[in-house]
Amino acid sequence: MSNDTLYAIKDLSVEYATRQGNVRAVDAVDLDIRRGEILGLVGESGCGKSTLGKALMRMPPGKVVSGELLFDGTDLTKISDKQLRQIRGARIGMVFQDPMTSLNPIQKIVDHLTETIRTHQPKRSEADARLRAEEIVDRLGIRAERIDEYPHQFSGGMRQRIMISLALALRGDLVIADEPTTALDVIVEAQFLDLLRDLKNELGVTIVLITHNIGVVAEIADRVAVMYAGKLVELASVHDLFDSTKHPYSKGLLRSVPNIDLDGTDLYKMSGAPPNLLALPSGCSFHPRCPEVMDICSKVEPPFAPVEADGNHATACWLYQEQSVSVELRS
């Protein structure tokens, strides 16, 4: 791992057990998460984004079947459950899509926070844990006295701030935010995104933002990873992804965003739907929907490889692997 890499994901595969068989929701993903960045993880529903996010914390029900999860040099796939619990909450926190399903409705906010703090720091007094709770919620724009209230007494945006305060209560290194703005109106969403940006700039927190809303990614992310059918299909800086999109799937996602310059034309919609993960098409999983499909696309899966000399923009598409195409066709 390089010094600027906080989390190195290597050849990661995650499966779910179903009645029809094992479903591989994340398939051989390689991804480095850099310290202090906001990484946007995007794709349609069912493409593996949330499964990957939960795998970073080794959370069920998905099972890691292969690969490495190197968090700050420690492989989370090889440590005990006790060691894992010491990292969850303390160094890696998660913000879920609906905070009302994550917050206990009969517990006050102060109880949520002090329980989190004292679980990882048992020698800390109740009074000291409360002071830390007041400090963190105040930093997130919630009056300190409100921690004695219950979750239902807060708005949706405030509840998401409380979820962030739980993730940062012990000054963690990484926050995984899984669709955190889905239930928020656009004004509260903008405020929430500003808050995430401030946390990154002031505290140096690394954030993985999982979303299907590519407009949110354009607003806040430093880099973007695009997933399709459990695989990573494009990775680039946010500017490169929007200015020099490579993968046809990424292009389709960008064209599907509402635009005030459409001048009455219909909003673009990609044909088809993501494939059944139990019966993936041969070759590139996107080829049945791809407007730029070639003969090799249905026969051979493209490698995920850099498309620029500096290696900072990579994609899995035969359009950018011409030499490999000729080799595969000859074989």
CA distance to 87, 169, 205, per residue, from 74 (Å): 10, 22, 19
Pick 182 or 56 by higher pLDDT.
56
pLDDT (tens digit, 9 = 90+) per residue, 243-283?
999 999 999 999 888 776 656 667 788 888 999 999 999 99
- Per-residue confidence (pLDDT) for residue 106, from 0 to 100: 95
pLDDT (tens digit, 9 = 90+) per residue, 64-104?
999 999 999 999 999 999 999 889 988 999 988 777 888 99
Parallel, antiparallel, or unpaired: how do β-strands 231-237 and 314-315 relate?
Answer: antiparallel
Average pLDDT over residues 205-222: 92
Phi, psi (degrees; rounded to nearest 5) at 15? -125, 155
- Per-residue confidence (pLDDT) for residue 131, from 0 to 100: 95
Average pLDDT over residues 116-122: 92
- Full DSSP string of 196-209: HHHHHHHH--EEEE
pTM of the model: 0.91
- Per-residue confidence (pLDDT) for residue 328, from 0 to 100: 46
Percent of the chain with pLDDT over 90: 69
Average pLDDT over residues 204-227: 93
3-state secondary structure at position 177? strand
Beta bridge partners of 226: 42, 234
Residue 227 has pLDDT above 80, yes or no: yes
Domain boundaries in the chain?
Answer: 5-91+170-330
Which residues, 6+ apart, have CB-to-CB distance to 35 below 8 Å? 4, 5, 6, 173, 204, 206
The Cα 48–Cα 27 span in angstroms is 9
3-state secondary structure at position 146? helix
How far is CA 227 from its chain centroid? 10
CA atoms within 13 A on the CB side of 220: 32
Six-digit token string for 123: 């020698």
Q: What is the CATH number of domain 5-91+170-330?
A: 3.40.50.300
Six-digit token string for 300: 């051979």
